[in-house]
Structure 1
Amino acid sequence: MRFTPQLRALDWLVAKPIAHRGFHDEKNGHVENCESSFAAAVAQGYSIECDIQLTKDGQAVVFHDDDIDRVMQGHGRVKDFTTRELKAMSFKQGKDRVQTLAELLEQVAGRTTLVIEIKSLWDDDFTLTDHALNVLADYTGPHALMSFDPDLVARVAATSSGTVRGITADRVIDPYYEPLPVAKRVAMREMSHLPQSQPHFISFDYRQLPFQPITEFQAAGFPIITWTIENDAQAKQARRWCDQITFENFVPA
C-alpha cells in the first residue's frame, strides 16, 4: 500500500475488498444488487459496489442492466417502469425485490462502504445523478459515486464537490462504445476529461492494466480499484497495479 495524502484521505475506500453488486450467490438466493447480497457483504465485512438506474417516476433503483430481461421475470427497459411496478416483479431466482437507493442506505446504515455506480444511457440527462446526490445528502456512512460517463462525474464535481467520486473505466475498445461520438471515446480512453470530471479515484478493468493514463493517475497519488476479479490468480495479478479489488464469485484472501 502506498501512503500518499490522497490515499490517506480515502483509506476507507480501499481498506477492504469490494463485493461486486454485493456478495451475491444466486444458487443460495442471494441475488445481485439486492438486499440479500448486501446483507451477506456486510456480514462478511466487505465493502459494497452497486449500480443505480432511473425509473419512469424519477426514482433511483439499485439495478445494473438497462433492461430487466436477464435477471427478472419480465421484459423491458428499467426506465419504462415505475418503482412500484418494478417492486411488484419477481427475480428469476430468490425472493428479493428491487430496492430503491434510499432503501439501500437504510439497510446498510453506515456499516460498510458503498461504492455506487451511476449507470448512463449516454443521453446527457443528469436526472439520476441529481436525484442520487439528493438522496445521499443526509447519509453519513462512507460512500462514493462513480460512472463510466465522465459527464455525470463532472456533474457530481460541479454540484457536490465534497462527494467522493470516481471514473469507472477501461481502454474503450469494446463495440459497446461505438455509438458514442469519436471525441467522447477518445477523451474517455486518454482520460483527457480529468480536469472536468475531477475524480478522486479510478475503477479500472484489471485485464487492461498496466495502461499509461492509469499509471500516471496513480503516480500522482490517487487510488486505483479494479474490476471484476473472480479468483485468487486474478486478484494477485490485479494487486500489482491497484490499491483494492472489486470481486465476485469467490472469497478473496
Structure 2
Amino acid sequence: MSEMSTILARPVAHRGFHNPSEGRIENTPSAVAAAMERGFGVEVDVQETADGQALVHHDYTLERLVEGTGSVISQHSADLVKLHMKTGTDKLWLLQDLLDLVQGRIPLVIEIKSRVVPGAQADFVRNVVDQVARYSGPACIKSFDPDMLSVAKAHNPDVLRGIVADSARNKQDYARHSRMDRFILRHLLHVPRTRPHFISYCVNDLPAPGPSFWRKTLGLPMMTWTVRTPEQRERANRFADQMVFEGFDPEA
C-alpha cells in the first residue's frame, strides 16, 4: 500500500478526536491521543511563530481557546508552549511534539495555515516540510495557499502535499483575493504548477467541476472536509475517497 493510500485508508479526525465537554480541545495532545486510541488519522493545523516554528493551533490569535492573548506570529515558541488551554489540562505544543507523540501509529495530515503574504512564508514552509521528511510515519502536508505548495514542491517534491479548497465565494474569507484569484482557487487552475498529490475540498461544495476534472484526469485522490452530519457523510461517500470528520464517531 502506498503512503497516500495509507493516509486515506481510515477516516481522519478534524483537529483530533476532540470533545470540549470531556476536556479534549481541538489540536491538543488529548485530542490526538483519543484519535490514536480509535485508529483514526488526524488532521491538525500549524501556525508560524515569531521564531519560525510550527505551533499546532488553528487560529491566528490565541483568545478563543488559550489562556493567552495576541497573535501567534508575534510570539516566540518558547513562550507559547507554556500557555494552557482554557479547558482541560493541555498546553500549546509544537509540530515536533506531535510527531514525537504519534510515532507513526496513525496517519497525519498537517495543514499549513497561510497568512497570505508575499513570499508565502517560504522559510516556515520549508521548516515544516523538513520535519515531515524526517518523520518515519505516514504523513502529508496541505494548504489553501497554492504558493505554499509551490515552495514545498521546490524544496522537497517527495513530501506528499495537497491543496485545500472550496467554492471561494465567501468574500470575508477571501478578502485579500481578487475575483480572478477566487476563480483560480475554486477550480484548482494552479494544479499544473503546484502538482498536488491529493485534493482536500469542502464537502458542502461537492460535486464541483475543478476537483472532479483533476480527480478524473490526473487520478488525484479526494479528501473532503468537514463532515458533521449524515447528509454530509453521504455526500462524502459519493464524491470523495475519504472524509475529515468532526463531532461523531464514524464507527459507533
User: TM-score, normalised to structure 2's length?
Assistant: 0.94
- The equivalent residue for 1:161 is 157
Cα deviations by residue, 1:33-90 (Å, 9 ceiling, x for unpaired)? 0100000001011001000011112111101011111111222111111112212222
Query: Secondary structure of 1:135's match?
Result: helix
- The equivalent residue for 1:171 is 167
**Gap regions ≥5 residues in structure 2:** none
Contact 2:187 2:211 in 1 (8 A): no
Correspondences of 1:40-51 after superposition (within 5 Å): 40-51=34-45
Report whether the alignment pairs 1:203 with 2:197.
Answer: no
Report whether the alignment pairs 1:20 with 2:14.
Answer: yes
Decide which of 74, 81, 99 is 2:75's aligned counterpart: 81
- The equivalent residue for 1:245 is 243
Cα deviations by residue, 1:150-208 (Å, 9 ceiling, x for unpaired)? 00011111111111110011011112102224443232122110011110101110001
Query: Secondary structure of 2:121's match?
Result: coil
- In 2, the alpha carbon distance for the partners of 1:206 and 1:104 equals 27
Query: Secondary structure of 1:173's match?
Result: coil
Query: Secondary structure of 1:130's match?
Result: helix
Following superposition, the deviation at residue 125 of structure 1 comes to 2.0
Correspondences of 1:129-140 after superposition (within 5 Å): 129-140=125-136
Query: Secondary structure of 1:52's match?
Result: strand
Tell me which moved more, 34-43 or 136-145: 136-145
- The equivalent residue for 1:236 is 234
Tell me which moved more, 212-221 or 109-118: 212-221
- The equivalent residue for 2:107 is 113
**Cα 1:111/1:231, change in 2 over 3 Å:** same
Aligned residues between the structures: 247
- Give the aligned residue type for 1:230: R
Following superposition, the deviation at residue 8 of structure 1 comes to 5.9
- In 1, the alpha carbon distance for the partners of 2:220 and 2:121 equals 28
**Cα 1:217/1:8, change in 2 over 3 Å:** farther
Query: Secondary structure of 1:13's match?
Result: helix
Query: Secondary structure of 1:10's match?
Result: helix
- In 2, the alpha carbon distance for the partners of 1:173 and 1:14 equals 28
- In 2, the alpha carbon distance for the partners of 1:230 and 1:134 equals 33
Following superposition, the deviation at residue 147 of structure 1 comes to 0.0
- Give the aligned residue type for 1:132: V
Contact 1:53 1:128 in 2 (8 A): no
Query: Secondary structure of 1:177's match?
Result: coil
> Which of structures 1 and 2 has the larger relative contact order (alpha carbons within 8 angstroms, sep 6+)?
1
- The equivalent residue for 1:193 is 190
- The equivalent residue for 2:138 is 142
- In 2, the alpha carbon distance for the partners of 1:104 and 1:74 equals 21
- Give the aligned residue type for 1:186: F
- The equivalent residue for 1:127 is 123
Cα deviations by residue, 1:76-109 (Å, 9 ceiling, x for unpaired)? 1111111122122221111101111111000000
- The equivalent residue for 2:56 is 62
What is the percentage of aligned positions where both structures have the same residue?
Answer: 36
Report whether the alignment pairs 1:39 with 2:37.
Answer: no
